[in-house]
Amino acid sequence: METEPAQVFPHVAKLEPVPVTGGPVTVPAAAVARVYRLAWFMTSSVHPELRLTGPGVTALAQYFAGAGVPAVEAGALLVRFPAAIGLATLNRMTKLGAEPWTHVPSGTTLEVATRPLKGGNESLGGPGFSRFRGTIDDEGGERVWRITEAFPRVSGDVLRHALALSAAAESDHRLVLADVAEAERVYAAFQRDKYPWNPLTRKGAALYLATPHPQTIHVIAQAGFRSLFSSVWPPALVEDLDDDTDD
């Protein structure tokens, strides 16, 4: 069930991003949802908002309408999404695709911020709180986002590693990990007894579902993310994902 888009930036104002050591970290602009997925891995009840600042951005709202809900405030273009659990918001952000970013001038600052739908400490952060800031650029004909700052503090190597896991979760039937050891760790972290109807097997550095199911792949990736990166991005302590939807 979706509700009206909620604001995020007023709730993360005290959580100032800091430079990414070993950055920038480059993400295809069309794959900006991979950054939001990191917050989703912390808690699936999390809300995103995009903010673009720079010359001409306020005239670009039409290109983000549909998948997102654009608004112009204080000279910035904000893109919000209806609040929802499960994969609904993630799917909407993914549907932005590449086309809107072709209209965004190089050098435009893009920031993605997230917060939990309920509760949380807006002064200290915690599960669901994140900010990522950088500039839109062109790289070999592809629009990219170069992330230079983040909250919580994270190194470039760790952020690249986490984003690789996020990208791997875009499959509907397998999760390809960095190596065999990581695959074994994620396999062990996933509560396989909760999904007896869809057995999970490991072959080398990849985990495979017997039947393709995007939601289950995301739950597996979430378990792996929490096992690998909880020291940077703290997960929600109690959460039941069984009622999440794929809408």
Predicted confidence (pLDDT) per residue in 73-129, tens digit:
999 999 999 877 678 899 999 999 999 999 999 999 999 999 998 878 899 999 999
- What is the reported pLDDT for 3? 65
Q: What one-character-per-residue DSSP string does 24-76 give?
A: -EEEEGGGTHHHHHHHHHH-SSEEEEEEEESTTGGG-HHHHBTTBEEEEETTE
Local structure of residue 82 (DSSP, 8 states): B
Kindly report the number of other CB atoms within 10 A of residue 173's CB atom.
15
Quick one: pLDDT at residue 27? 98
CA 244/CA 247 separation, integer angstroms: 9
- Residue 4 has a pLDDT of 75
